[in-house]
Structure 1
Amino acid sequence: MTRVSLRALLAWLLLATGVASAHDADILYIEAHRAAPESPEVREVMTLTPESLARLLSLEGTGAALNTRDALAGQLDAISARVWGSAPLAAGGQSCTRTAHAASPRRAFVELTATFTCPPGPLRQRFALLERLPPEYRVILGSVREGELPGAVFADASRPEVALPDGVSRTSLSGRFAGWVGLGMRHIFEGVDHLAFLLAVLLVGGGFKRVLWLVTSFTVAHSLTLGAAALGWVVLDGAGARWVEAAIAASIIYVALENLILREHRHRVLVTFLFGLIHGFGFAGVLAGYGLGESVATALLGFNVGVELGQAVVVAVLLPILRMLQRRPALHTRAVRAVSIGILAVGGFWMVERALG
């Protein structure tokens, strides 16, 4: 398989799902199925975004798209073998034998499957593929049959080898989605655009009661659209996801302009709610590319809880500072103007960047 043909395949995948959004997916999600603890057959399903696949294969740039399904199928089969070769599975200290593998492009992600024949004993898997990815990437083992363990096992560059549960073990509810809570918190802390929007809203938020209304409206709104998109009730194609990202930038520009132009912000709660709906689709874009399978409900709950906790931490840090500024009106006015101009400039840059892809 040539480098050119791989680039052509990735061009097709990227065109099928749209340009990468500002919320880069950084998860490889795996479900492992073993009928019984000593069953020799183990089947695994890995889902990842086309962007993650491109990074994993260490390719830059794109080529001409493939025109035939047969050609595409041939390339996917070779890619599947290459990826699974970097994630060897072992049982009882002995290597498992991969007997089959396949790959299929889905709407928002790529699905790679593999079947292994394993000797008796506990399963362990080493994800050497993490060495070829940025350090923030991680592998999440979603479930092992018989016995559902959604989101229970995480691997990253510092711990690339993990023990797979034996198929009969069970974890508590907190153990099942605690990892997704952490991912949600990390996303809000690293989501600079969401933080910029929140800061712009809080700059002229007013008293505690009004701030509570603002934060609640944003929370309710993005929870609604996050749930609708993550559960598949609303489906965004690649172009739609790109315009959602551009709309998030536009929301930042609008709120910053309001801060600079208007003296009163009577409709800020409604504005925050409406833009919160758009930000929810942005949050959903993080989950949509993972192909979460049986763990979607747990992932949605845990991720949303993490987002809310992260948001609460941000508000708790910013609010006392803003309240102190409000006690000095002249200083507060200058601070609102300076920070809003900065947010406006950054939002404008994001708007152009995302609209142009």
Structure 2
Amino acid sequence: MRTERLAALLLLLWGAGAALAHDADLIFAQTERSQRGAPEVHARLTMTVNTLSLLLSNGADAQGTLSQKDLDARHSALAVSVWDVSPLRARDGPCVRLGQTARRLETSVELTATFHCPPGPLWQTFGMLSVLPPEYQVVLSPPRGGQGAARTVDARQPQVVLSEEGDVPQRVPGLAGWVRLGMKHIFEGADHLAFLAALLLVGGTLKQVIGLVTSFTVAHSLTLVATTLGVIPLDATRARWAEAAIAISIIYVAAENLLVRPPRYRPFLTFLFGLVHGLGFASVLAGHGLGKPGGEELLGFNFGVELGQALVVLPVLPFMRLIQRRPSVHRKIVVLLSGAVLFMGINWLIKRVG
């Protein structure tokens, strides 16, 4: 009996030691907006003293003896070694860090920073992982009072997409949920709708319209699948330039409507621009669920995108066919709406490259 108790005690101690050793390789992170849609974003990192010492020494061995006085004295070093390599950005531009604090706890250090961010989803890059040993991970926790599971981030994929609230995105339940998400993105995606509107304004035969929509669908489906399966890497920087390219596609099509009669090479150009729009769809899909999406998620989301697209296009076609019968009226509508789409595209481009 005594032997069994001793074995149990040794097992318990071993398990506790293993847990402590594992916790030493973890950095706990939490990033959230102060309230829905607010520009103020709060980020918090909690790590062992030894981990912070490694960061401050750029990965070299260092004694974990940092006191609160040491933290106060190394304010600038913390900014460079921690927050400068853990930037936040939104689709319309980078976040600006407004301030930071460091607090010495009993066995760890808590670092906080406040950012001013543009609206919408956020990306965070944990570049600090590149100077730490490869077993280190960042555990991204749900916001205070929030729901959903935590995610882990490592040096192989240091970028992570946050939801619009700045918290950990929750998984979409079931195939129907992914279909609804795809439809929602089309209905709420003003840039994709503007591109489709600019395409359809010039009209054409039913066969020509179907050819354009099919070309766009095939193209964005290809890049959506390739990106979500990891064939095409899409980090925060590439996603930003993809969004800028989407704005350029809108500007080009709208300008062509105004300057070229009839527009040239539309199916080919629509296919090329569709490839770029697929990257935009992929960045949305990457912000939901854990890890790479499986077949159900990818199929459901893409079907939802196509269904939403069809629900937008089909009701418009009879109206456009009717207007085409009156060329003077049709031309005025093309000029008016293409001008509006052109203005929106320029506005999006300025925001996304700024």
Match of 1:108 in 2: 159
**Cα 1:283–1:10 shift into 2, 3 Å:** farther
Q: Which has the higher contact order (CA 8 A, sep 6+)?
A: 1
Retained in 2: the 8 A contact 1:108–1:289? Answer: no
**Cα 1:59–1:322 shift into 2, 3 Å:** farther
Deviations 1:107-147 (A, max 9, x none): 43279xxxxxxxxxxxxxxxxxx9x949xx9732xxxxxxx
1:86 equivalent in alignment to 2:145: yes
SS at match of 1:293: coil
**Cα 1:294–1:324 shift into 2, 3 Å:** same
Q: Provide the C-alpha distance between the structure 1 equivalents of 2:326 and 2:161, rounded to a whole number of angstroms.
A: 55
Per the TM alignment, residue 287 of structure 1 is displaced from its structure 2 partner at its CA by: 1.6
Match of 2:67 in 1: none
Retained in 1: the 8 A contact 2:182–2:308? Answer: yes
Per the TM alignment, residue 103 of structure 1 is displaced from its structure 2 partner at its CA by: 4.4
Deviations 1:62-81 (A, max 9, x none): 8xx986867xx99956x63x
Output aligned runs, 1:1-357, within 5 Å. 12-14=85-87, 19-21=89-91, 59-61=114-116, 80=141, 83=142, 86=145, 103-104=152-153, 106-109=157-160, 133=165, 139-140=170-171, 151-152=172-173, 176-290=174-288, 292-293=290-291, 295-356=293-354
Q: Provide the C-alpha distance between the structure 2 equivalents of 1:339 and 1:197, rounded to a whole number of angstroms.
A: 12
Per the TM alignment, residue 187 of structure 1 is displaced from its structure 2 partner at its CA by: 0.2
Gaps of 5+ in 1: 23-56, 90-97, 112-129, 141-150, 153-175
Per the TM alignment, residue 352 of structure 1 is displaced from its structure 2 partner at its CA by: 1.2
Deviations 1:211-265 (A, max 9, x none): 0000000000000011000110000232211111111000001001110111112
Percent of paired sites with the same residue: 47
Match of 1:155 in 2: none
Gaps of 5+ in 2: 1-28, 31-41, 46-77, 93-111, 118-125
Say what the alpha-carbon RMSD is for the aligned residues. Answer: 3.9
Retained in 1: the 8 A contact 2:240–2:352? Answer: yes
**Cα 1:11–1:195 shift into 2, 3 Å:** farther
Letter in 1 for 2:320: L
Deviations 1:36-66 (A, max 9, x none): xxxxxxxxxxxxxxxxxxxxx995338xx98
Retained in 2: the 8 A contact 1:242–1:354? Answer: yes
Letter in 1 for 2:153: S
Q: Provide the C-alpha distance between the structure 1 equivalents of 2:308 and 2:229, rounded to a whole number of angstroms.
A: 22
Per the TM alignment, residue 10 of structure 1 is displaced from its structure 2 partner at its CA by: 6.6
Q: Provide the C-alpha distance between the structure 1 equivalents of 2:349 and 2:257, rounded to a whole number of angstroms.
A: 18
SS at match of 2:208: helix
Deviations 1:9-57 (A, max 9, x none): 6764435xxx3226xxxxxxxxxxxxxxxxxxxxxxxxxxxxxxxxxx9
Letter in 1 for 2:90: A
Q: Provide the C-alpha distance between the structure 2 equivalents of 1:85 and 1:344, rounded to a whole number of angstroms.
A: 42
User: Normalising by structure 1, what TM-score?
Assistant: 0.60
Retained in 2: the 8 A contact 1:214–1:269? Answer: yes
SS at match of 1:60: strand
Per the TM alignment, residue 272 of structure 1 is displaced from its structure 2 partner at its CA by: 0.7
Retained in 2: the 8 A contact 1:108–1:288? Answer: no
User: Normalising by structure 2, what TM-score?
Assistant: 0.61
Q: Provide the C-alpha distance between the structure 1 equivalents of 2:83 and 2:328, rounded to a whole number of angstroms.
A: 55
SS at match of 2:230: coil
Q: Provide the C-alpha distance between the structure 1 equivalents of 2:325 and 2:351, rounded to a whole number of angstroms.
A: 38
**Cα 1:271–1:88 shift into 2, 3 Å:** closer
**Cα 1:237–1:257 shift into 2, 3 Å:** same
Q: Provide the C-alpha distance between the structure 1 equivalents of 2:247 and 2:336, rounded to a whole number of angstroms.
A: 19
Letter in 2 for 1:339: L
Per the TM alignment, residue 200 of structure 1 is displaced from its structure 2 partner at its CA by: 0.2
Letter in 1 for 2:170: V
Q: Provide the C-alpha distance between the structure 2 equivalents of 1:11 and 1:342, rounded to a whole number of angstroms.
A: 39
Give the number of equivalent residue pairs: 251
Retained in 2: the 8 A contact 1:109–1:291? Answer: no
